[in-house]
Amino acid sequence: MKTGIFICHCGHNIKHTVDVKKLSEYFRHYPNVVVSEDYVFVCSEPGQDMIRESIEKEGLDRVIIASCTPSLHGEMFKDVLKKSDLNPFLLRRVSIREHCSWIGDDVEKNTEKAKRLILAGLYSAAHYVPLEEKIVDVKKSALIVGGGVSGLSAAVFLSRMGMQVYLVEKEAELGGHVRVLKNIWPSGRDGKDIIDEMVKELEGRRNVELFTSTAISSFEGFFGNYEVTLDTPVGEKKLTAGGVIIAIGFSPFDPGTKPELNYGKDKRIITTLDFERNADALQLPENPRVAILHCIGSRDEQIGKPYCSRVCCVNALRVGDAIKNRYGDSYVESFYMDVRAHPRGGEEYFEDTQEKGVLFTRANVAEIMPMPTGVMIRGEDTLFGETFEREFDLVVLSIGMSPPADSKLIASLFKVTLDKDKFFLEAHIKLRPFDTAVKGIFIAGSCSGPKDVEESINHGRASAVKLFGFLNLGYAYVDPFIAHVDPKRCSGCRMCEQACVAKAIKYDEAQRVVHVEDAACMGCGLCNATCPSSAISLKGYIDCMIDDEISAFLEAI
Amino acid sequence: MAEEKIEKNPEIVGFACSYCTFKASEMAGSLRMKYPEGVKLIQVPCSSRVDPAFVIKAIFEGADGVFVAGCHPGDCHFIKGNYYTRRKIAALKEMFDAFSMKDKLRLFWVSAAEARRFVEKVTGMYNEIKEKKNAG
Amino acid sequence: MQGKKIKNGGIESALGHFLKDEQHLVFGFEKGKDNVSHHVFKDSLDHYAPLNPVFSANGALYLRRIFAKGAQIVLMLRPCEIRAYVELVKLTQIEREDVIAVSVDCLGTISSKEKTGNAPTDVDPLREYFKDPEKMRWACRVCRERRGVVGDAGIRIDKNGSLWAIPYTGKGETFLSLLEGDAEAVPEDMFIVSSGKTEKFQVDMETFSKDFSKCIMCMNCRDMCPVCYCIDCVFKGDEYLPKGDALLNKIFRTGSVDIPQGKELFHLIRMFHVSQTCVGCGACEEACPQGIPLTQYFKGISERLQGMFGYMSGRSFEEPIPYVTFLEEELKDAED
């Protein structure tokens, strides 16, 4: 066996706390190792060339790359092997960055740990066999879940690129929250116009089907060919989608859950969204006194919402701006923690509203009490350290964005993960921000965290581009890590068949052994752990690989 | 001359499912969270791949502790895998209990988002086992 | 409950009649010159013995991989043997279709390693003999189910020493129809009313190591275990016990020249493998040339692990083996 070991410095990221030279030196003299090198960036062009040259020159039949975590650069390194005519499944990735150099500071201990991790890779890879990736057809159709601004913009892009688009919205009308927004900052366009423009384009296309008042009743199958059942007002509809974009948006924070705000008990206490919906219908006195409260349902550990909702500061500024424009002699006071006017031009807008006369008071508001003459706000001015009580004619709560009400339901339907705040979690925050951990399922818009209209449109388009790239190929590789039965060793006890979640194991009455239906196998390995003689085994994770990894961690070396 | 007591560091082997716990451990690394280097992970596609024999083997090869970690029940990427894990590992824990070594095996549920929880769980386990190892 | 009181010689004449068909067999016990042993009766039921006071092996061992259709077999065995049979049926190791499994009340057994000539074989003298439970094997003394209440039908002994046949399944009814007489209400009081109980098994690793230090890895315990059904054991390969080149590789790889023992690993892993199916019959201990108290360990562990899931091996054909099923709302405290 000829193994090549390539240890990455990752610039300073690994080298800083792991003695990479010592490691490459150590493994150079190891049995079965013919190349052991460390390099500044193994993922760089020269780094890849180094691997290719070693494979070709030394005739390597195993490649071990000790670098970042295996979920990064996976396909790229596999391609390096492919280009050198080496089966890509003879590659072993060892994470010595996320699981070693970044989690401890002691160079000696980290180096020792990295040595064990690489050793585990070396032992395990010794059992590797060439595997063939299966190719499956990918249906050029996309299911978009959610007809808000993000889902619509994704649909527009995909339909223009000729993909079949199925867009599902649970409400009767498309457009989500954006539909009610007026004069959207900074463009000044009404939300309805933006939505109508997109819907009109979609309605005019033959490759688009829009489903409103529709729920998804089942979702099965594998990427490239997901089987979807919709529950539409005109009955059940079955369709096949190559990929999915989840764009189910957000739920506005309900201030009713904070009793001290008295929201819903007095019509003079409203939210920014109420203000958007019927600002014109508000009945205010000649020179109204208006209070605007920031961070309602954001940056609040007590109610489990520690995050900043990003859009509410600008929303609050817009309320102040609107009041000042309409009532020149009004008294408008904003109670804030920090003003985080995120988007481009936000800071300037903040200054403009100040110039127009909106007062900004850094405060903790303790209570809002409706009185016959007005609404009393009691709180503490945190700059001067004084308590205050002031009366207003109108109180506007700048509410934050909560995760969508059905995020848990949708997440379990599509088997994707939510983050701790119950927003959808991306596969990698920087490198794969639109992907979920499930292949072919992407996320877009504020369901993955608070976003404004511009960001949601961009996010929708970006996910659509990612999905397009995936669909347009028309085929995809399937991991060959599926279960396999050795019929000579199978006792035919059918334990694996009973346990198999995917129902991929079938019993052969004549031979009295089981076999695996490749296409149905999900590759979890439950059968392997259930079989007492391991006659059924999961390719890529067979017993002796894991056994030897255990030994590598523990044996005397 | 008084013999200086050398602190013994435990070795912990953890089985982490690719879709939840291993992802959480990646995030813990990215966030530069710290946990003892004695904790080493073996990546498995699903916690249900963990054959109790692996756990027994790790203990006999000298691991001071083993943990099996997967997605929270109901959240398994493979739909139901971790319910089987829970049965098998709970049974194995009962067996370890009968052999008076219950503290050597633990079962954790850590989702992909719970980097902090991952670090807390493994560090807690490490420290408890280390204390016992150095006490006796 | 309805059943038939068995007249003197009733079983023999019924089964003898049954054997008239060429394709019919009875698997039970035969009275030899000075011992009783497992026997397959074909054509006639000569020297048949309903009870066997000596335990040498679990009869279910001989039934593994009975798949041939056509030959009708009646099993007349001890409850522990029928329970192992039931587990093997669930594991598709036996085709249940052509088998009628009858469990016969077990009054206790002595080990085949003892002087077996002393033990009586008939019901009344046996009852007298085992009045002192110390005479029984430990496995029988603490047996969970010595009553013939498992399988398709049971043969129970009442307080007066009369035998009763009771059906539990449709096949049991077929068995009952072989017997003469009419069904009547079975008396409530039987000779064996309850079964033995063991304390919750608890041991420590030092005792375990000491007890198993004598093990020579002959693997007789595995080979004689009725529920260790794998046709190819994981311990056959080099994974757990490297030999030959695998051993040399390990030596060169690790620098350690110790020959890996693997015996503790073997027993613990086997213990887990049979944890839900073990019937506690003690066949393993009977087969052990080194006198290791295997029953204590295997029975002790399996009772604890079966108890977690409210499972009892061999109690029913329908209960699934716990490791291939689950409940969503259970084991809430399993997580640490």
Q: Two tokens at B53?
A: 């024999």
Q: Are A483 and A444 in contact (CB under 8 A)?
A: no
pLDDT, residue A481, reads 95
**What does the alpha-carbon distance between residue C133 and residue C105 come to, in Å, rounded to a whole number?**
16
**Is-contact C285 C278, C-beta < 8 A?**
no
pLDDT value for A182: 85
Nearest to A236 by CA among A215, A263, A265: A215
Q: State the residue range of the domain holding A452.
A: 141-250+403-476
Mean pLDDT for chain A overall: 94
Instruction: Taking residues A510-523, report their average pLDDT.
Output: 90
Query: What is the C-alpha separation between A193 and A195, in angstroms, rounded?
Result: 5
Return the pLDDT at A184: 87
Say if residue C240's pLDDT is above 80: no
Q: Which of B34, B48, B75 sits opposite A529 (nearest CB)?
A: B48
Domain positions in chain B are 12-130
Report the relative pairing of strands A215-222 and A225-232 from DSSP bridges.
Answer: antiparallel
Question: What percentage of chain A exceeds 90 in pLDDT?
Answer: 84
Percent of chain B with pLDDT over 70: 96
Nearest one of B56, A492, B62 to C270, comparing CA atoms: B56
Nearest one of C237, C310, C313 to C85, comparing CA atoms: C313
Q: How many residues does chain C have?
A: 336
Inform me whether the pLDDT recorded for A194 exceeds 80: yes
| CB-CB contact of C233 with C222 (8 Å) | yes
- Residues A124 and A119: their CA atoms lie apart, in Å, by 8
Q: Could you tell me the pLDDT band of residue A141, with boundaries at 50, 70 and 90?
A: very high
Residues 6+ apart with CB under 8 A from A269: A261, A262, A263, A368, A370, A375, A395, A397
User: Position of tokens 């397009």?
Assistant: A468
> What's the half-sphere exposure (Cβ side, CA atoms, 13 Å) at C89?
22
- The pLDDT-based confidence of C239 (bands split at 50, 70, 90) is low
CA A255 to chain centre: 27
Q: Which of C240, C271, C336 sits opposite B95 (nearest CB)?
A: C271
Do C308 and B98 contact (CB within 8 A), yes or no? no
What phi, psi does B126 have (nearest 5°)? -60, -50
Closest Cβ opposite residue A98 in set B19, B26, B57? B26
Which bin fits A221, alpha (ψ -120 to 50), beta or left (φ > 0)? Answer: left
Residues of B within 8 A of A550 (CB-CB) are 13, 42, 54, 57-58, 61, 63
Q: What CATH number did the domain enclosing A183 receive?
A: 3.50.50.60
Nearest chain A residue to B19 by CA: give it: A437
Name the one residue in this structure whose structure tokens are 């008042």: A213
Q: Is the ipTM of this complex over 0.90?
A: yes
pLDDT tens across A344-402, in order? Answer: 899 999 999 999 999 999 999 999 999 999 999 999 999 999 999 999 999 999 999 99
Distance of CA A409 to the CA centre of its chain: 16
Predicted TM-score (pTM) of this structure? 0.82
For residues A197 and A239, the answer to whether their CB atoms sit within 8 Å is no
Total domains present in chain A: 4
Q: Report the pLDDT value the prediction gives residue B2, as an integer from 0 to 100.
A: 52
Whole-number pLDDT of residue A213: 97
Give A289-335 pLDDT, tens digit per residue.
999 999 999 999 999 999 999 999 999 999 999 999 999 899 999 99
Cβ atoms of C53 and C136 closer than 8 Å: no
Segment C260-279 shows an average pLDDT of 92
The runs of H, that is alpha helices, within A185-339 are 191-203, 272-278, 312-326
Distance CA C217, CA A53 (A): 49
Yes or no: say if A59 and A35 are a contact pair by the CB < 8 Å rule.
no
Give the pLDDT score at C117.
Answer: 73
- Quickly state the pLDDT bin for A476 (edges 50, 70, 90): confident
Q: Position of tokens 């401890």?
A: A104
Are C324 and A499 within 8 A, CB to CB? yes
**DSSP readout, C309-334?**
TT--TTS-SSSPPGGG---SS--GGG
* Residue written as token pair 């050795």: A486
> What pLDDT is attached to residue B71?
92
The whole-angstrom separation of Cα A460 and Cα A156 is 10
Which chain A residues are within 8 Å of C239, Cβ to Cβ? Answer: 543-544, 547
pLDDT > 70: percent of chain A:
100
Please report, for residues A61, A84, A105, A381, A542, the alpha-carbon distance to residue A89 in angstroms, rounded to integers and kept in the order given: 10, 13, 33, 63, 14
Q: Which residues of A touch B13 (CB under 8 A)?
A: 550, 553-554
Identify the pLDDT of residue A223.
83
Cα–Cα distance, C77 to C59 (Å, whole number)? 7
How large is the average pLDDT for residues A131-139? Answer: 90
Q: Residues 25-64, chain A: which have Cβ within 8 Å of C?
A: 31
Token pair of A466, please? Answer: 């990612």
Q: What is the pLDDT of residues A51-88, one digit of tens each?
A: 999 999 999 999 999 999 999 998 899 999 999 999 99
Whether residue A295 is found in the same domain as residue A334: yes
What is the share, in percent, of chain C residues with pLDDT greater than 90?
76
Average pLDDT over chain C reads 92
Question: Residue A45: which pLDDT band, with cuts at 50, 70 and 90?
Answer: very high
Tell me what pLDDT residue B84 has.
97
- Whether residues B95 and C323 touch (CB distance < 8 A) is answered with no
Region A133-151: mean pLDDT is: 94
Domain presence at residue A188: yes
- Backbone torsions φ then ψ of C319, nearest 5 degrees: -60, 120
In this complex, the chains that touch A, judged by 3 or more CB pairs closer than 8 A, are B, C
- Please tell me whether residues A472 and A489 are part of one structural domain: no
Q: How many CA atoms lie within 13 A of A138 on its CB side?
A: 24
Per-residue pLDDT band for A555 (boundaries 50, 70, 90) equals confident
Q: A208-211 and A243-246: which strand pairing?
A: unpaired
pLDDT number for residue C254: 63
Domain assignment present for residue A354? The answer is yes
Between strands A386-392 and A375-381, the pairing is antiparallel
A550 and B54 in contact by Cβ < 8 A?
Answer: yes
Span of C128-142, C148-162, C190-204 with lowest mean pLDDT: C190-204
Question: How far is C-alpha A108 from the chain's CA centre?
Answer: 36
Tokens 């940056």 correspond to: A299
Cβ atoms A404, A248 nearer than 8 A: yes
The pLDDT of A411-426, averaged and rounded, is 88
The SS3 of residue C218 is coil
CB A67 within 8 A of CB A55: no
Residues A364 and A424 in one domain: no
pLDDT-derived band at B78, boundaries 50, 70, 90 = confident
Q: Which residue has the higher pLDDT, A502 or A143?
A: A143
Burial of residue A153 (number of CB atoms within 10 Å: 0-12, 13-18, 19+):
buried
Q: Flag the least confident range among A26-30, B43-47, C247-251, C287-291.
A: C247-251
Give the per-residue pLDDT at A518. 85
| A488 close to C (CB below 8 A) | yes
> What confidence tier does B132 reach under pLDDT thresholds 50, 70, 90?
very high
Residues A385 and A409 in one domain: no
SS3 state at A264: coil
The second-level CATH assignment, the architecture, of B12-130 is 3-Layer(aba) Sandwich (3.40)
Q: Let me know whether A210 and A266 are in one domain.
A: no
Q: By the CB < 8 Å criterion, does B126 face chain C?
A: no
Residue A533 has pLDDT above 70, yes or no: yes
Tens of pLDDT, residue by residue over C43-67, are: 999 999 999 999 999 999 999 999 9
Position C253 scores a pLDDT of: 64
- For residue B3, the model assigns a pLDDT of 58
Whether chain B has a CB inside 8 Å of the CB on C186: the answer is: no
